[in-house]
Structure 1
Amino acid sequence: MDKEHLKGAAKKTEGSVKESVGKATDNKKLEAEGKKDKAEGELRKAAGDVKDAVNN
């Protein structure tokens, strides 16, 4: 697992927490930020997958 995978997992977790808190508190802005962070985490994970594929 490389740095992009780790960053992606962290961002995705952060996004999940924000989204959950946003839903629980009915804070649409926080919920949207969480969804954005989760998407960014997925992109970082995909970038790590591409790096792995290129290096192998």
Structure 2
Amino acid sequence: MSQFTVSGKFASRDGYSSFETAIEAENEDVAREHVLSQLGSRHGLKRTQIELEEVEAR
């Protein structure tokens, strides 16, 4: 598995909040799915409220 750094922003009360997280995944698509799932679960967001801007291999 590879390490990926995923950055973007998500909808919050005060507009948008930016984030950057590191995740271990098989490829970029799996990394995107895991981040969407984790942020949605943690902050009660739908996938349409999360914008992924960059997925970068480490």
Give the TM-score category using the shorter length: 0.3 to 0.5
Structure whose residues are more often strand by fraction: 2
TM-score by length of 2: 0.32
TM-score by length of 1: 0.33
Pick the structure with greater CA Rg: 1
